[in-house]
Chains A and B, each alone.
Chain A
Amino acid sequence: MNRGAFVKGVLMALAAMALGWVASKTVASALVMTLLAQSCFYALFALGVGLLIRQNGMVSFGHAAFFGLPGYLIGIGLKQTDIPIELLIPLVVLAVTTFAFLVGLVFVRVHGIAFGMLTLAIGQAVYEASTRLRGLTGGHDGLTIKFPRELFGLPLKTFQQPHGMFLIAWCVLVIVVTLVIWLAHSRLGRLTEAIRENEERAGFLGYRTLWPRAVIFAISAATTAAGGVLFALYNAYISPETVYWTSSGSALIMAVLGGSVAPWGPVLGSMVYFFLKEALGDVTTHWLGIIGISLIVVTVSFPQGLSGLAMRLLGLGARRRHADS
């Protein structure tokens, strides 16, 4: 990436953070702030899922494992060890990422349904563990995470109030989105896109095709785990529901709704999902059905998702992904 693009990226990220700060100061409604904060957690979750679709062409049905594991590991870590929280959080993200890389080295050897089933299996394995290892996880009752009163120099309540958490989550999201966009334009991004398109030819250009995809799988898990850390901080509680396969399904819906042409597509998808859910939830208990129908409409009418549609409307000319001829 050249200098100009780098400076532009940093400026845009700073502008987006400033916008978040203004929003947190001007929007008084705690409900809207809660929704926004939650969409940020799930945006990170879906961003990980979308990243895997975009770079590897692989659909995961088990990312809830990477979203829920940080909460469990932090909760258990705080209970069983003396590791300070400021160190524990990075360690947990590193552990989840490493775990995903190792699993990825095996999983990315297969494609399509087989890959989906393997991810589903890992997700359900984590779910089973969360319900069975009652001593550690609290089983179906869930686990209350006992955070210290102060983290990273801020009082705990800053992390647990909608306004404070929204601003923190928004800044993390902006940083991660910036990194994901940068990744898409990086050498690894280009290479994995090429491998997704034509693995055999990539091999004949001198590239090993296994480990780059495993690295993407790990990055995807790390992105989702970042959302999981924020989720845990905000709720100070985690239960098996969070790692259940329907949770993976929701994130997948957000990623597909937002589209994976633009790296930021899943963010849009999760915002729309949460506000749709809130708006419809008041009117009807069938909101999930309405989301399902919207999903069908979107995927059939706009295969590039809402982000593809937005880019077309803004005249950004969404890059065509398939041949005209």
Chain B
Amino acid sequence: MPILEARAVSKAYGGFLALDNVNLTVEPGEIRALIGPNGAGKSTLIDVLSGRARGHAGQVFFQDAEITPLAPWARRLKGLARSFQKTSIFPALSVRAQLELAARKAEAGGDVGETLAEFGLEGVAERPAGAIGYGDQRRLDLALALTGRPSLLLLDEPAAGLSFEESMKLAKALREMANRRGVTVLLVEHDMEVVFAIADTITVLQLGKVLAEGPPAQVRADPRVVQAYLGSAA
């Protein structure tokens, strides 16, 4: 059974249809990449799945239960976590304090210590998050989503603003962490190299519709994808 399912999801902003009858199923344990040109509706889909976008058509299921009416906090308690394309942290709180909040348990060390180490944030743990470097803030945003042992991670361009090498490094670390923690990942990423390096399955969105879906090799060979998305780059 799929861990996450979107059925016939449509979302309009004013008269503009950002998502047009999207169906998506994500299997437990996989790393799914969501790709597509700018404005394709990737962030909007993450918003619908995480409960940030309200007033959409269609239904969302998580671990076989419908979660469409649930607020973000309730989805998070069920094990569905997300990160943000535009860094979303708590600037005045220390890195450690906010990870402790994310862990939802008072115990020091444990999950928090592990996360600090995994994301290379030990050196800045006691500093206010607003005062650390951009790269650290990006990783903190990701760490906030991963702390507290969620079963599904929705990651909206976690490598936004990072160089190609940094993105590649982050992607590999992500893959390793996902495997070890047994967490399912739905990842938005614009860099195809990065996507092909870590994704099990790729879903291509274009103009709010699913254009293609399948294993990386198949998607890469799909002439519609090549034309619509890779065409401009190739």
Listed in ascending order, the chain A residues whose CB lies under 8 Å from chain B are 187, 190-191, 193-194, 197-198, 200-209, 319-325
Contact = CB atoms under 8 A, between A and B. Distances in A.
Contacts of A321: 92, 128
Q: When A and B form their complex, which 7 residue pairs have the shortest distance between CB atoms, in order from nearest?
A: A323-B130, A206-B76, A197-B90, A201-B88, A203-B72, A324-B131, A206-B77
Interface in B45-88: 50, 52, 71-73, 76-77, 81-82, 84, 88
A206 B105 CA distance: 12
B102 A205 contact: yes
Given A320-B128, A320-B131, A322-B130, A208 B73 contact: yes
14 contacts: A190-B97, A191-B101, A193-B93, A200-B72, A201-B144, A202-B101, A204-B145, A205-B148, A322-B92, A322-B128, A323-B130, A324-B130, A325-B130, A325-B134
A78 to B, nearest CB: 44
A214 to B, nearest CB: 16
B104 interface: yes
Interface of B: 50, 52, 71-73, 76-77, 81-82, 84, 88-93, 97-98, 100-102, 104, 106, 128, 130-134, 144-145, 148
Which of B81, B92, B133, B144 has the most A CB atoms < 10 Å from its CB? B92
Given A205-B101, A324-B131, A198 B72 contact: no
Contacts of B97: 190
Contact of A206 (B84, B98, B104, B128): B104
B92 A193 contact: yes
Contacts, number: 80
A12 B67 CA distance: 50
A323 B97 CA distance: 16
Given A190-B93, A321-B128, A205 B88 contact: no
Given A194-B98, A194-B101, A325-B131, A203 B73 contact: yes
Most buried by B among A190, A198, A204: A204
Nearest to B71: A203
Nearest to A195: B90
A315 B121 CA distance: 27
Q: Which has the most chain A C-beta neighbours within 10 Å: B71, B84, B101, B130?
A: B101
Contacts of B131: 320, 323-325
A321 B94 CA distance: 10
A323 B131 CA distance: 4
B76 A205 contact: yes
A194 B72 CA distance: 16
A203 B144 CA distance: 12
B73 to A, nearest CB: 5
Given A190-B97, A201-B144, 14 more contacts: A194-B93, A198-B91, A201-B88, A204-B73, A205-B76, A206-B77, A206-B104, A206-B148, A207-B101, A209-B73, A319-B128, A322-B91, A324-B131, A325-B132
Contacts of A190: 93, 97, 100-101
A198 B87 CA distance: 11
A190 B98 CA distance: 8
Contacts of B130: 322-325
B92 A204 contact: no
Contact of A204 (B50, B106, B132, B133): B50
A194 B89 CA distance: 9
Contacts of B128: 319-323
A202 B81 CA distance: 12
A323 B91 contact: yes
A207 B73 contact: yes
A164 B100 CA distance: 45
A260 to B, nearest CB: 12
Contacts of B145: 204
Nearest to A191: B101
A208 B51 CA distance: 14
A207 B102 CA distance: 9
A204 B93 contact: no
Contact of A197 (B50, B84, B91): B91
B92 A197 contact: yes
A325 B134 CA distance: 9
Contacts of A191: 101
Contacts of A322: 91-92, 128, 130
Contacts of A201: 84, 88-90, 144
Contacts of A200: 52, 72, 88
A201 B92 CA distance: 14
Given A323-B130, A325-B131, A204 B90 contact: no
B222 to A, nearest CB: 34
A198 B101 CA distance: 13
A190 B104 CA distance: 12
B74 to A, nearest CB: 8
A206 B90 contact: no
